[in-house]
Chains A and B, each alone.
Chain A
Amino acid sequence: MKLVLNFTPVWAELELILDGIMLTIGLSAAAIVLGSALAVLLVGLKSLAPRWVGLLVDAYVELMRNTPFLIQLFMIFFGLPLLGLKMSGATAGLLAMTMNLGAYATEIIRAGVDATHKSQIEAGLSLALTRLQVFRYVVLNPAFAKVWPALSSQFVLMMLASSICSFISVSELSGAAAIIESRTFRSFETYIVVTLVYLALALALKSSLLLLGKRLFPNASGLERLDVKAGSV
């Protein structure tokens, strides 16, 4: 057995790796913001709109949660151009990530919304708040505070799943790795470096989300938090 690791050719491609890191961060950040917005919209529809709209939301959530992210990505990237919607790999990746994260976040936030006590809503309504205001201030805010840990894990999982975008040749971190591998033939070395970068990114994202949670929801105690499971995509 001869085990020789040579990292020099990989370091020569540092620029590609840095570009990949930027794209991974950009895609993940955008998907987190847009996906959360989509989730709030869907949870709002489920709480405020007529029942059949809620059923549609349920169907969407179940469809997204029970099919692989890769297939969703393929449907968007290969399928939508047939309808005249041509888009770059990165755009397709962002759209797929947003739709996928939106479904998972809907399920998580909904658990927080369901945990709101009925008397809270009644109290809000009796203060002459509109239903939308009650949803916004009485229901949604505490719900976010309760499910923040689960939501954070889901965000981290989405960042990790962004690696699947390399399947449609988006040159985010994994895509960059594939390019470097084909240029240098140093597969193991390339993937060691990229894996360590992912590890650092995930740990950094995890701790920043923890800090953000403490800032955003200073009053949420650990006990109030719901035990909602995040699921990988």
Chain B
Amino acid sequence: MATFGFPEMMFILRSAGWTLLLTALAFTIGGIMGGGLAVLRLSQSRILRNIAAGYILVIQSIPVLMVLFMSYYGLSLFGIDLPPFLAASASLAVYCSAYLAEIWRGSIQSVPFQQWEASSSLALTRAQQYRYVILPQAVRVSLPPTVGFLVQLVKNTSIVSVVGFVELSRAGTLVNNATFQPFKVFTVVAIIYFLICFPLSRLSRHLEKVMHAGRRH
């Protein structure tokens, strides 16, 4: 039986890198999707609005685990065979997009309506309104909840081990299976997660304070 020594520790630390990479990729893809969804959610066409709202409602009302399974098996059913890392990132991006879309929709809507009116009376197109007037103001409001959501994303990467990807949690399970020292192993894993998440939580709270964006009424 192996003991929990230096090689095991290195294995866990390396896997933490994968967790970070997974978070970064899922956040990037999910952010692009979420941005598109947020704009659709506020589009002038009712059909587009309802499609975006429906997507967001469904993704937010099912477990992340199901999003993972559905996109994983869904992709393979359509003959797309992605390596585990990409499959896991894609599934997490789907989950991420719905939450980011809701956060960013709220931020866009927090910009006073007069800003839309003023900019449209200056003959800006809708894209120009977003680019020059609305988004610069909305981004400020959106920062604290976006960073806050990043914490949820980091924590939720822990369940992608079900599609066969070895990240921090899976590494912990593997080491535990070899050493049978669950307390030691999972404490180390928990500490690493905490070291990633806690600064982000504090940053989110700090941003909220600096920007006075915590409460909207």
Supposing A195-B62, A233-B155 touch, asked if A1 and B215 sit within 8 A by C-beta, the answer is no
Within 8 A of B (CB), among A53-72: 62-63, 65-72
Which of A1, A166, A188, A206 has the largest number of chain B CB atoms within 10 A?
A: A188
User: Cβ of B152 < 8 Å from any Cβ of A?
Assistant: yes
Contact B155 A67 (CB under 8 A): yes
Decide yes or no whether A187 CB sits under 8 A from chain B: yes
Contact A198 B69 (CB under 8 A): no
Minimum Cβ distance to chain A for residue B43 (Å)? 24
Q: How far is the CB of A127 from the nearest CB of chain B, in Å? A: 30
Complexed CA–CA distance, A66 and B182 (Å): 19
Interface SS, A side: helix
**Chain B residues within an 8 Å CB radius of A75:** 182-183, 186-187, 190
CB nearest neighbor in B for A186:
B73
- If A71-B169, A231-B151 touch, whether A160 touches B63 (CB-CB below 8 Å) is yes
B183 contact from A79, A160, A199, A232, Cβ within 8 A:
A79
Contact of A82 among B73, B183, B217 (CB under 8 A): B183
> Which residue of A is nearest B170, CB measured?
A70
Q: Which of A167, A192, A227 contacts B216 (CB 8 A)?
A: A227
- Decide if A70 touches B62 in the complex (CB within 8 Å): no
By the criterion CB–CB under 8 Å, are A164 and B65 in contact? yes
Q: CA separation between A187 and B186, bound complex, in Å?
A: 30
A71 touches which of B70, B77, B186 (Cβ 8 Å): B186
Do A1 and B158 form a contact, CB below 8 Å, given A67-B193, A198-B63, A199-B61?
no
Give chain A residues whose Cβ lies under 8 Å from the Cβ of B73.
187-188, 191
Within 8 A of B (CB), among A117-154: none
**Interface of B: prevailing SS:** helix
User: Are B172 and A74 touching (Cβ within 8 A)?
Assistant: yes
B37 within 8 A of A: no
Q: Give the distance to chain B from A76, nearest Cβ to Cβ, in Å.
A: 10
Say yes or no for A209: interface residue by CB 8 A criterion. Answer: no
Chain A count of residues within 8 A CB distance of the other chain: 45
Most chain B beta-carbon contacts within 10 A, residue among A70, A163, A167, A227:
A70
Compute how far the CA of A229 lies from the CA of B78 in the bound complex, rounded to whole angstroms. Answer: 37
Chain A residue at minimal CB-CB distance from B162: A167
Q: Is the CB of A202 within 8 A of B176?
A: no
Does B187 contact A194, Cβ atoms closer than 8 Å? no
Cβ-closest chain B residue relative to A1: B79
Confirm or deny: A78 has a beta carbon within 8 angstroms of a beta carbon on chain B: yes
- Report Cα–Cα, A1/B148, bound state, in Å: 41
Contact B158 A79 (CB under 8 A): no
Q: Whole-angstrom distance between the alpha carbons of A44 and B85 in the complex?
A: 45
Chain A residues near B193 (CB-CB < 8 A): 66-68, 71
Contacts of A206 in B (CB 8 A): 61
CB-based contact B217/A232 at 8 Å: no
Shortest Cβ gap from B151 to chain A (Å)? 7
CA A100 to CA B215, docked complex, whole Å: 25
Given contacts A68-B169, A75-B183, contact A229 B148 (CB under 8 A): yes
**Interface assignment of B118: CB less than 8 Å from any CB of chain A:** no
A85 interfacial contact with B, CB 8 Å:
no
The contact sample of 8 A-B pairs, CB cut-off 8 A, is A62-B201, A66-B198, A68-B155, A68-B156, A71-B172, A188-B77, A192-B70, A232-B64
Residues of B within 8 A of A (CB): 58, 61-66, 69-70, 73-74, 77-79, 99, 145, 148-149, 151-152, 155-156, 158-159, 162, 169, 172-173, 176, 182-183, 186-187, 189-190, 193-194, 197-198, 201, 214-217
Q: A194-B66, A227-B217 are in contact. List 20 more A-B contacts (CB 8 A).
A: A3-B77, A65-B151, A65-B201, A66-B155, A68-B159, A70-B158, A71-B158, A71-B193, A75-B182, A156-B61, A160-B62, A163-B66, A166-B65, A167-B162, A174-B65, A191-B70, A198-B66, A199-B61, A232-B152, A232-B155
**8 closest pairs, A vs B, by CB?**
A78-B182, A163-B63, A66-B197, A68-B158, A202-B61, A68-B155, A160-B63, A188-B73
